[in-house]
A and B are shown apart, each in its own frame.
Chain A
Amino acid sequence: MKKHLWDSLKVLIVMTVFTGLVYPLVMTAIAQIVFPKQANGSMIRINGKLVGSKLIGQNFTGDKYFWPRPSAIGYNPLPSGASNYGPTSDTLKELVETRRKEFIRLNGLPANTRVPPGMLFASGSGLDPDISPAAAELQINRIARARGFDSVQTAQLRKLMQSHVEGPQLGFLGDARVNVLELNIALDSLDVTSR
């Protein structure tokens, strides 16, 4: 057994050097050279200031912006996570009912509107950067009102939103979605240029 333990230690050390240091460090070097933007988190800077990452959702509560999905962690990535409420959870039921009412009220929608499930249920990571196109569409009138858009500008806003819809990747993978942060940044510049 003593020989086995000694052999084990030697093999583990060699393996650690190779798979635990050389492999990740070489991969980091390659990643930083070939894909520096992605490797560092697809960060978005405006006028040199870091406003977030394309891939990490952030909270929007103001009427002038598209809202993201509910998040169990309030979009604070330390640490990421979900509510983990099961389908028979009281708390989840109450949350969903409140979210539905609030979404309809705050967006000024008819009471019988079918709110997309993405806006009723929190995401798995708590950092979902996307919403469904349907969820974005339902927010357009509220944003237009808050920004004082006329009908021409509202039509531009709708077009802008539609141009941000990403279909399934390679034509068949995943669901259609809209990146909330990118759309909101585009929305801010639309607001500036259309005035």
Chain B
Amino acid sequence: MLIATFGIFGTHDAIQIGVFLLALILLTPPLGGFMVKVFSGERNFLTPVFGGLERSFYKISRIDPDQEMDWKTYLLAVIAFSLVGLVVLWLLQVTQAYLPLNPERLPNVSWDLAFNTAVSFMTNTNWQSYAGETTLSYFTQMAGLTVHNFVSAAAGMAVLLALIRGITRKSVEGLGNFWADLVRMTLYVLLPLSVILTVILVGQGTVQTLSGYAHATTLEGQKQVIAVGPAASQIAIKQLGTNGGGFFNANSAHPFENPTPLTDFLELLSIILIPSACVYMYGKMVGSKRQGWVIWGVMVSVFCIMLGISLYSEYNFHPPYVSTPSMEGKETRLGITNSILWEVTTTVTSNGSVNSMYDSLTPLSGMIAMVDMMYGEVIFGGIGSGLASMLLFVLLTVFIAGLMVGRTPEYLGKKIEAYEVKMSVIGVLAPGAAILIFTAIASITKVGLSSLNNGGPHGLSEILYAFTSGAANNGSAFTGLNANTVFYNITMGIDMLIGRFVPIAAYLSVAGSLAGKKAVPPSAGTFPTDSVLFGFLLIGVIVIVAALTFFPVLALGPIVEHFLMLVGKTF
């Protein structure tokens, strides 16, 4: 048996990371290939199970799944669906006291917290201003949050599909049907995986019950009220749908959400599985698996670099008042390596669930989490939206490469012109602008500063992390920041909306423009986008955009804190 020596990164830790990456590589092609079938409407092995259900979905809601939508119609459908979801989810929360399945008789949620949570789940951010076990009824968690865990992920997938169709189709307007994409993603991909994961989680100890909280008398005679609930079914989709909003306040650090190292491993894998499979699916859909693997290679390389830096910081740097790495905010059963592996996985994807508390990480490790999100969630990223944002970077890279060699840039047979580049730049920069502007406002106002839990540069990091997480639609947090105030609930709400819908508008307008273009056959002047060289260029563009935008504020927050920590300064 392998027993790790505490505080030293050993073989035991390397094996866990290795097995995780291996499992990811092995599962990506089969799931990606399956998704290709699902979204082309082809028969697949689940058609006998869900085919009838799918058709009855369309029948009940009187929707024609074959009706093609142009980019504006598609965008309007996404916005309308999100808006209706937002309103309904807000209403559910502010009336939960009158609704069923509320054994603890939790009161109605305040208007601003309900707004924040509704935006948060509708945008696939799943930022937690709420504390599940003391704020939300079982009904709100099930009929509200769980539903949005499914549909916000499916909506992200839908816009990616529209963008891919824009790239592959020639001289047409139609980008597919939003409703069909939404329903297929939910039924054939998210639901079956969630069912499997739920059953395993419960077997390991995750709770799944409608009973009220248990009242225990401890061995020493104290009273302890143990919160339970229908958690496993929500946690499964929370992990699989790049959502991340916990059933309980402590999220996947809570032993009822993540009871054993095995559940940790499976929840971790679930975070990144579908975003990874999306890239394989993309390669297959554009007719060249290599195109997909090059992008996947870029993603996994950046992932490994970020993981390496974060692990190094956490194992090697600590304040001088202790002689070992810190366990503040970490769970015994998971240890340091699993905490950091999760940290990097959840922030590169837009999941945002946590199994340790990032406010208490070493400064550089906390910074890695922020940088992961500042890339714009393009390293795997959220379901659909991550790869879609990555494709905007791909277009920018093609454009820059074109400028360098003096040729008209092309991507997969389509000319990339001023319109696509403009839209890509808007899509890439809007979240960054929101992050910096809101952080600036919060750092100079009393209402912004009064929520801080830590002083010195770490205080700035808490604010910066919050708005980064919101605009990146990630949802993880430096939880010390008391974000449940009117100021943060509203500003974070706007931040999340900008981070979701400006990029979506960008993907779809680019998709619409590309779909209308004729294909040009590749010539000697075409810059190949399936080469390792292109991969390096792409990494360069991503890093430069993130670094130039955010380096100054990172220097004032985590970087200066790192050096102050090493000399023992406290605030």
Mask of B504-537 contacts with A, CB within 8 angstroms, 1/0: 0000000000000000000000000000000000
**Residues of chain A contacted by B453 (CB below 8 angstroms):** 84-85
Partner of B199, one of A30, A52, A93, A170: A30
| A117 and B454 contact, Cβ closer than 8 Å, known pairs A10-B62, A82-B253, A86-B561 | no
A175 engages B329 (CB within 8 Å): no
Partner of B186, one of A15, A32, A79: A15
Cα distance A86–B258 when bound, in Å?
A: 24
A5 engages B84 (CB within 8 Å): yes
| A85 and B454 contact, Cβ closer than 8 Å, known pairs A20-B143, A52-B218 | yes
Stretch at the interface among B2-10, B28-36, B404-412: B2-10
Determine the residue in chain A with the shortest Cβ distance to B222.
A59
Q: How far is the CB of A73 from chain B (nearest CB, A)?
A: 9
**Residues of chain A contacted by B57 (CB below 8 angstroms):** 11, 14
Residue A1 is within 8 A (CB to CB) of chain B in the complex: yes
| A172 and B2 contact, Cβ closer than 8 Å, known pairs A88-B454, A124-B331, A124-B357 | yes
Partner of B327, one of A49, A57, A121: A121
B331 engages A128 (CB within 8 Å): yes
Cα distance A85–B204 when bound, in Å?
A: 31
Partner of B333, one of A5, A12, A81, A175: A175
Which A77-132 residues have C-beta < 8 A from chain B? 77-90, 92-93, 96-97, 114, 116-118, 120-132
**Residues of chain A contacted by B215 (CB below 8 angstroms):** 50
B225 engages A130 (CB within 8 Å): no
A124 engages B329 (CB within 8 Å): yes
A173 engages B255 (CB within 8 Å): no
A85 engages B359 (CB within 8 Å): yes
**Residues of chain B contacted by A92 (CB below 8 angstroms):** 328, 360, 570
Partner of B81, one of A11, A58, A131, A132: A11
Cα distance A13–B62 when bound, in Å?
A: 13
Cα distance A87–B83 when bound, in Å?
A: 41
Residue B319 is within 8 A (CB to CB) of chain A in the complex: yes
**Residues of chain A contacted by B323 (CB below 8 angstroms):** 114
Stretch at the interface among A21-29, A143-151, A153-161: A21-29
Residue B296 is within 8 A (CB to CB) of chain A in the complex: no
B565 engages A23 (CB within 8 Å): no
Greatest chain A CB density within 10 A among B1, B83, B218 is at B218
B564 engages A172 (CB within 8 Å): no
| A15 and B255 contact, Cβ closer than 8 Å, known pairs A31-B202, A86-B480 | no
Which B318-333 residues have C-beta < 8 A from chain A? 318-319, 321-333
**Residues of chain B contacted by A129 (CB below 8 angstroms):** 255
Greatest chain B CB density within 10 A among A10, A34, A172, A177 is at A172
Residue B77 is within 8 A (CB to CB) of chain A in the complex: yes
Cα distance A90–B142 when bound, in Å?
A: 41
Residue B256 is within 8 A (CB to CB) of chain A in the complex: yes
Determine the residue in chain A with the shortest Cβ distance to B326.
A121
A50 engages B360 (CB within 8 Å): no
Mask of B435-465 contacts with A, CB within 8 angstroms, 1/0: 0000000000000000001111110010000
Q: Report how many A-B pairs have Cβ atoms within 8 Å.
A: 389
**Residues of chain A contacted by B455 (CB below 8 angstroms):** 89-90
A58 engages B218 (CB within 8 Å): yes
B233 engages A23 (CB within 8 Å): yes
Cα distance A78–B233 when bound, in Å?
A: 21
**Residues of chain A contacted by B339 (CB below 8 angstroms):** 124
A32 engages B254 (CB within 8 Å): no
Cα distance A57–B332 when bound, in Å?
A: 11
**Residues of chain B contacted by A28 (CB below 8 angstroms):** 208-210, 230, 233
Q: How far is the CB of A68 from chain B (nearest CB, A)?
A: 9
Residue B310 is within 8 A (CB to CB) of chain A in the complex: no
| A93 and B321 contact, Cβ closer than 8 Å, known pairs A79-B131, A85-B360 | yes
Determine the residue in chain A with the shortest Cβ distance to B82.
A8
Cα distance A11–B151 when bound, in Å?
A: 10
Partner of B362, one of A61, A87, A117, A169: A87
Q: How far is the CB of A36 from chain B (nearest CB, A)?
A: 9
Residue B395 is within 8 A (CB to CB) of chain A in the complex: no
Determine the residue in chain B with the shortest Cβ distance to A185.
B219
Mask of B285-327 contacts with A, CB within 8 angstroms, 1/0: 0000000000000000000000000000000001101111111
B207 engages A40 (CB within 8 Å): yes
Partner of A77, one of B144, B227, B233: B227
Cα distance A109–B110 when bound, in Å?
A: 51
**Residues of chain A contacted by B60 (CB below 8 angstroms):** 10, 14
**Residues of chain A contacted by B161 (CB below 8 angstroms):** none
Mask of B78-94 contacts with A, CB within 8 angstroms, 1/0: 01110111001000000
| A86 and B330 contact, Cβ closer than 8 Å, known pairs A80-B249, A117-B7 | no
| A96 and B570 contact, Cβ closer than 8 Å, known pairs A59-B220, A175-B4 | no
A78 engages B456 (CB within 8 Å): no
B259 engages A55 (CB within 8 Å): yes
Residue A76 is within 8 A (CB to CB) of chain B in the complex: yes
Mask of A128-142 contacts with B, CB within 8 angstroms, 1/0: 111110100000000
B253 engages A124 (CB within 8 Å): yes
**Residues of chain B contacted by A79 (CB below 8 angstroms):** 131-134, 227, 248-250
Determine the residue in chain A with the shortest Cβ distance to B138.
A24
A84 engages B232 (CB within 8 Å): no
Mask of A35-49 contacts with B, CB within 8 angstroms, 1/0: 100111111000001
B253 engages A123 (CB within 8 Å): yes
B207 engages A69 (CB within 8 Å): no
**Residues of chain B contacted by A80 (CB below 8 angstroms):** 131, 133, 227, 248-250, 253-254
Q: How far is the CB of B534 from chain A (nearest CB, A)?
A: 37
Q: With A86-B454, A121-B329, A124-B253 given, can you name 9 additional A-B contacts, CB distance below 8 Å?
A: A4-B79, A28-B230, A51-B216, A51-B218, A56-B224, A79-B249, A83-B328, A83-B360, A170-B262
Closest A-B pairs by Cβ, 9 of them: A174-B261, A84-B480, A124-B253, A175-B335, A4-B80, A173-B261, A79-B131, A80-B250, A31-B208
